[in-house]
A and B are shown apart, each in its own frame.
Chain A
């Protein structure tokens, strides 16, 4: 008979201490029986942690067919209340005796499930509108956030083959944070299963090496796949790279975890950019998790267009187009 698993969720799960959550979740890798989850210690969970927790609970229930019980709380817990309002338990199909999920308000932006047929633009616009409700922000900030959400959502749709969740939060500190996590095949397997030519000669690469590869410009696992009219790739692998550069330019952070690979960049201090290489983590996270934070005030008076131009310049991709015949007549008002 299989042993049951008891998952005691840690107090904190954020950019600096995500590993504690991953370790707590890995208890279920050893014992394959029913799962009991205690949320009693939860104090602070950033959006990517909430999404990662939800993705793993979904994996246990729907993929592994295991019974999952969230233990009732004996005391008032603000984090549990917070995720309840985000629709966390509804997404799991768990009935609890707390309040039902609220609609989007200034404080609560519901978690969205990323499905194959999700309309990326609709989800992104909805989340940004809800997160920015009651906040003063210009169109450039909204455009930046929509862009990041759009690219991240599409990545899950194109690569994951699992269930993904996305959440956004605007904190009082002025930091806007996007968390997205899935329980899918991971970055390395995406390259392998897509029959990417990049795999040849790299069969022994670690998850950390594949995480670094994924963040490189024009290095998606799908760039070798041709469009139906045959003239180019269906995916040119630039979105995730751009998102990480925007996080850098907006003094935020960028974290990408895929199974045993973790890349973590903290850009808070402009004079000391922290861009270490990806590292191996143990235990692994079963899927992909991405956390991006922006400090919109760091944009200052810079428009989203200029921010994007800066990123393209850093990638060496700005203004290198060969003049085409008639290109001066491309645009009209």
Chain B
């Protein structure tokens, strides 16, 4: 089973900026879906910007915990080049030995 999260609708914004909101979103929605064995697709249609606070709070922790799921049960859809960069730098952050 796959859960697709429409980020534009979920956060009601084209700009994702709140790290605290990102942390709650991950723990209350993404984690439970993964725990149920579902795949999660983050659909960024309509989102054109974010902050590093949001991307790191949301994705760096997720990547760190579920590295083996990235690319199969954790996927990203309709990312602009900028959004893709934010996601990839969260990946770098997750890989950092300081984190």
Partner-B contacts on A (CB < 8 A): 119-122, 124-125, 139, 143, 146-147, 150-151, 153-154, 157-158, 218, 227-236, 238-239, 242, 303-305, 308-309, 312, 317-322, 324-333
Contact = CB atoms under 8 A, between A and B. Distances in A.
A326 B20 contact: no
B95 to A, nearest CB: 5
Q: Which of B65, B76, B78, B89 has the most CB of A within 10 A?
A: B89
Given A232-B64, A317-B92, A332 B99 contact: no
B82 interface: yes
Contacts of A327: 70-71, 91
Interface string B48-64: 11011110110011111
Interface string B16-37: 1111100110110001000000
Given A228-B23, A235-B53, A312-B89, 17 more contacts: A119-B18, A125-B13, A146-B15, A153-B17, A154-B20, A158-B19, A218-B99, A227-B61, A231-B64, A232-B94, A233-B99, A234-B19, A235-B57, A321-B94, A326-B70, A329-B75, A332-B77
Contacts of A231: 61-62, 64-65
Contacts of B72: 326, 329
A5 B48 CA distance: 50
B52 A239 contact: yes
Contacts of B15: 121, 124-125, 146, 150
A241 to B, nearest CB: 9
Contacts of A324: 63, 67, 70-71, 91
A330 to B, nearest CB: 5
Contact of A121 (B17, B23, B76): B17
A238 B11 CA distance: 22
Contacts of B17: 120-121, 124, 146, 150-151, 153-154
Contacts of B27: 227-229
Contacts, number: 157
A146 B49 contact: yes
Interface residues of B, number: 54
B93 A317 contact: yes
Contacts of A319: 92
Nearest to B54: A150
Contacts of A321: 88, 91-92, 94-95
Given A154-B51, A239-B53, A324-B71, A309 B85 contact: yes
Q: Which of A120, A124, A312 has the most CB of B within 10 A?
A: A120
Given A146-B15, A233-B99, A227 B56 contact: no
B76 A330 contact: yes
17 contacts: A121-B13, A121-B16, A122-B13, A125-B13, A150-B17, A154-B19, A229-B31, A229-B65, A231-B61, A232-B61, A234-B57, A321-B94, A324-B70, A327-B70, A329-B72, A331-B75, A332-B75
